[in-house]
Structure 1
Amino acid sequence: MISYKPLQHTLIEKGVKKMELVKMVGMSNSTLNKLNKNQYVALEVIERICLALDCSIADVVEIKKDPDESEA
């Protein structure tokens, strides 16, 4: 499961608002909505976010085990 919770923390740490990020990265509002809903976005967008915020990919996204998936 994809989570963009680290992005929320990074934005707070850097004092950047979500709409500022949209302009910095040149992404659409629909992409921002996907980020807010922890939905998949293109890796190119993640790269542009990392470059704009001068951070690593771990500061933007994390992968969590889906609690609904049972272990084999």
Structure 2
Amino acid sequence: MVSYEPLWKTMKQKDITTYTLIGKYKVLSKTIYNLKHNKHITTATLEKLCRILECTPNDIIEFTNEPQGKK
């Protein structure tokens, strides 16, 4: 399953908030919702986040063996 846990760590390290993503970088609030709930995002969104955070996809997304919604 998909987890965006690395994203939250990367954002914290770079001192970027979800409000910054929405306000400054025009990331849709629906996209933030999807990220917070480990739901689908497009590869274009993944690429945009990589550019904003100056990182690689591995700094944003990881795959786990846990079913979605379980932690």
1:59 corresponds to which residue? 59
Q: What's the TM-score once normalised by structure 1's chain length? A: 0.85
Unpaired segments of 5 or more residues in structure 1?
A: none
In 2, the alpha carbon distance for the partners of 1:43 and 1:61 equals 11
Aligned twin of 2:9: 9
Q: Which structure's CA Rg is the greater one?
A: 1
Write the distance in 2 (CA, Å) between the matches of 1:25 and 1:60.
16
TM-score normalised over the length of structure 2: 0.86
Indicate if the aligned counterparts of 1:4 and 1:61 stay in contact, CA closer than 8 A. Answer: yes
Q: Give the match for residue 46 of structure 2.
A: 46
- Please report how far the alpha carbon of residue 67 of structure 1 lies from its aligned counterpart in structure 2 after TM superposition: 4.8
Measured in 2, the distance between the counterparts of 1:18 and 1:57 equals 18
The answer (yes or no) to whether the contact 1:25–1:48 under 8 Å persists in 2 is no
Runs of 4+ aligned residues of structure 1 deviating over 3 Å after TM superposition are none
- Of all paired residues, the percent bearing the same amino acid is 26
- Are residues 67 and 42 of structure 1, via their aligned partners in 2, closer, same or farther at CA, if it must alter by over 3 Å? closer
Q: Following TM superposition, by how much is the alpha carbon of 1:19 offset from its aligned partner in structure 2, in angstroms?
A: 1.2
| Structure 1 residue 26 displacement after superposition | 2.2
Where structure 2 has 5 or more consecutive residues not aligned to the other structure, the ranges are none
Partner residue in 2 for 1:26: 26
Would you say how many aligned residue pairs link Structure 1 and Structure 2? 68
For 2:23 and 2:37, how far apart are their aligned partners in 1? 19
